[in-house]
């Protein structure tokens, strides 16, 4: 049995404003006060894990220990089939220190040169850690393919080149509400809610 979340306040253990916004949107139906790790001046831990789950866990633990509050972390990325799952857990790092996702998307497109398989998945691991060391982890994915050139400015990161399966529009073009209904983050979040937030 997963541990139920019974506290009033939760730290969103991310320094990515796009993620903090999406997780805040997803948490809105629940009566929990949210504050981000950045707002609390909590540092970004080094992401030394070799899996999305391991990195989500270490980020959640880091913020829970630093704040004394439960903390929810997200480790996510784009896994491209023809690139053996790259950039994967290195998705943020492909954008370099200036977090230039135009550049990161260009790198993906260059790596795909000459390949016909343009399928990809977004993966999201969510880890909820309590200050006593207990952790719950959930993972979600969404399948799609990659378009070029990138389209739309509604999302963040790799959204402008990712088109979920069965959609004409990219995650850069669709309404955030629609992304929240179908995304990897939403899929992981549904499991988190089922396990930890439902009565």
Torsion of CA 94, 96, 98, 103, to 10 degrees: -50
Strands 135-146 and 119-129: antiparallel
Torsion sign, CA atoms 58, 24, 124, 89: negative
Q: Which residues contact 15 (CB under 8 A, 6 or more apart)?
A: 36, 37, 38, 44
Which of 74, 183, 73, 175 lies closest to 122 in space, CA to CA? 183
> Residues 70-109 vs ligand ITT: string with x where CB under 6 A?
----xxxx-------------xx--------x--------
Q: Which of residues 20-39 bind ligand ITT (CB under 6 A)?
A: none
The pair of structure tokens assigned to 56 is 């989500």
Options 25, 39, 74, 75, the catalytic residue? 75
- Contact status: 121 vs ligand ITT (CB under 6 A): no
- Smallest distance from ligand ITT to CB 194, Å: 21
Q: Which residues contact 30 (CB under 8 A, 6 or more apart)?
A: 193, 197
What angle, 0 to 180 degrees and rounded to 10, lies between the N-to-C axes of helices 184-192 and 17-27?
40
Find the part of the chain contacting ligand ITT (CB under 6 A) among 8-16, 28-36, 112-120, 187-195. Answer: 8-16
For Mg ion, the binding residue among 71, 92, 124, 126 (CB under 5 A) is 92
- Smallest distance from Mg ion to CB 6, Å: 28
- Contact status: 156 vs ligand ITT (CB under 6 A): yes
E strand residue ranges, 4-66: 9-12, 33-36
- Contact status: 127 vs Mg ion (CB under 5 A): no
Find the part of the chain contacting ligand ITT (CB under 6 A) among 3-11, 28-36, 157-165, 190-198. Answer: 157-165
- Contact status: 57 vs ligand ITT (CB under 6 A): no
Q: How far apart are CA 173 and CA 182, in angstroms?
A: 14
- Contact status: 158 vs ligand ITT (CB under 6 A): yes
Site residues for Mg ion per CB under 5 A: 92
Site residues for ligand ITT per CB under 6 A: 14-16, 19, 44, 47, 59, 74-77, 91-92, 101, 122, 155-159, 171, 183, 185
Q: Enumerate the active-site residues.
A: 75
């Amino acid at each position: 049995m997963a541990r139920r979340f019974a506290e009033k306040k939760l730290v969103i253990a991310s320094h990515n404003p796009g993620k903090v916004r999406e997780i805040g949107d997803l948490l809105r139906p629940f009566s929990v006060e949210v504050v981000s790790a950045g707002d609390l001046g909590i540092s970004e831990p080094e992401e030394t894990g070799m899996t999305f789950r391991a990195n989500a866990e270490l980020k959640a633990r880091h913020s829970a220990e630093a704040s004394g509050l439960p903390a929810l972390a997200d480790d996510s990325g784009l896994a491209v089939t023809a690139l053996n799952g790259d950039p994967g857990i290195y998705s943020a790092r492909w954008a370099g220190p200036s977090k230039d996702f135009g550049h990161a998307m260009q790198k993906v497109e260059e790596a795909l040169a000459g390949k016909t398989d343009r399928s990809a998945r977004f993966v999201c691991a969510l880890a909820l850690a309590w200050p006593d060391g207990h952790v719950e982890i959930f993972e979600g994915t969404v399948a799609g393919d990659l378009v070029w050139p990138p389209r739309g400015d509604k999302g963040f990161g790799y959204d402008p080149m990712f088109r979920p399966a069965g959609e004409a529009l990219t995650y850069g073009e669709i309404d955030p509400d629609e992304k929240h209904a179908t995304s990897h983050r939403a899929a992981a979040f549904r499991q988190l809610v089922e396990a930890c937030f439902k009565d």
